[in-house]
């Protein structure tokens, strides 16, 4: 029996931003002993979404072909995947398309333009966010309306950071970072200054580094108010051995009294209460460092949870 014709729901491109994230702290608590992620590192963190990131333009098509183009924005294309099929955005679209086909639903294709702004290899989750934004967008544009649980599962298969962006919330995270407890942000209304050093950190090598702290005691979410004073990033010691990261960290700390690595590096962030204070801090920081690619000044994002559609 032939599938019903696909209704193209967007003639003009739909334009969305894929927000980056910061890890307010990142503790590693040993290894997971059983289940699908056995022998992976167990971690605890708080994911704070930030109103900055790649811009994605979606246009759905009747043909099933998936095409992803990259365009340079604030970030160059030097780290673009070698082939389109290796692109996390393409893989996200394909995974959603395959799920629809497996359930006998009519589905077409898409043309996606990604304008690259998020630093690559900086611990900001730019690629994961673009993949999650693709899942959320095409779920609606293809009129699939899969529930949140289905998209979260696709996200887990794509990468550990994808689920937080699929969920669209700020959250305490456990497991490999996929067990999420949405919580109000301790930095609601605040602004961030993020330094992107001339350094890129491969995650696998960072987890294997001998200086990695892997035995931090577990905390419960009510510990979150102490994130600044009692928290830390387990990767920071090794990353500060790199001069470019160390210089950025020192400059942010000198100007604002606080600096912390995000993810497994290499980006470093600090916080300010207002946009004006953040901009003033960024101007002073920029005069102190020579090895940063750029500084990002952007506000914290509130929750934008994915509805559990049926």
> Annotated catalytic sites, by residue?
21, 161
C-alpha 64/C-alpha 96 separation (Å) is: 12
Q: Calculate the CA dihedral of residues 105, 106, 108, 112 and round it to 10 degrees.
A: -40
Name every residue whose Cβ is closer than 8 Å to that of residue 205 and which is 6 or more positions away in sequence.
none
- Is-contact 141 61, C-beta < 8 A? no
Candidates 180, 152, 182; CA nearest to 166 is: 152
Q: What angle do CA 39, 267, 229 make, to 5 degrees?
A: 80
The beta-strand segments (E) located in 198-291 are 260-261, 268-272
What is the helix (H) or strand (E) element at residue 310, kind and residue range? none
**Whole-angstrom Cα distance, residue 306 to residue 22?**
20
Specify burial of residue 157 (Cβ count, 10 A radius: 0-12, 13-18, 19+): exposed
* CA–CA gap between residue 20 and residue 130 (Å, rounded): 9
Q: Are 191 and 275 in contact (CB under 8 A)?
A: yes
């Amino acid at each position: 029996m032939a599938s019903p014709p696909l209704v193209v729901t967007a003639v003009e491109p739909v334009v969305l931003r894929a927000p980056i994230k910061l890890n307010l702290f990142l503790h590693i608590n040993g290894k997971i002993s059983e289940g699908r992620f056995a022998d992976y590192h167990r971690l605890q963190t708080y994911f704070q979404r930030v109103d900055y990131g790649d811009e994605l333009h979606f246009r759905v098509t009747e043909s099933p072909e998936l095409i992803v183009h990259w365009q340079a924005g604030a970030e160059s294309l030097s780290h673009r995947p070698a082939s389109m099929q290796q692109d996390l955005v393409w893989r996200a679209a394909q995974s959603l398309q395959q799920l629809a086909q497996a359930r006998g639903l009519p589905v077409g294709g898409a043309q996606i333009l990604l304008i690259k702004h998020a630093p690559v290899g900086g611990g900001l989750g730019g690629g994961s966010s673009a993949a999650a934004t693709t899942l959320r967008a095409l779920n609606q544009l293809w009129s699939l309306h899969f529930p949140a649980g289905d998209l979260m599962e696709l996200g887990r298969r794509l990468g550990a950071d994808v689920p937080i962006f699929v969920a669209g919330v700020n959250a305490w995270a456990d497991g490999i970072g996929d067990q999420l407890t949405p919580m109000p942000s301790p930095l609601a209304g605040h602004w961030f200054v993020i330094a992107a050093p001339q350094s890129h950190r491969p995650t696998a090598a960072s987890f294997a580094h001998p200086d990695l702290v892997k035995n931090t005691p577990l905390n419960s979410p009510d510990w979150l108010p102490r994130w600044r004073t009692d928290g830390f990033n387990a990767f920071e010691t090794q990353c500060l051995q790199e001069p470019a990261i160390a210089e950025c960290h020192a400059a942010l700390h000198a100007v604002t009294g606080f600096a912390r690595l995000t993810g497994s590096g290499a980006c470093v962030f600090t916080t300010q209460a207002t946009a004006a204070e953040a901009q003033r801090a960024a101007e002073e920081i920029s005069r102190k460092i020579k090895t940063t690619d750029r500084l990002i000044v952007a506000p914290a994002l509130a929750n934008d949870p994915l509805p559990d559609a049926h």
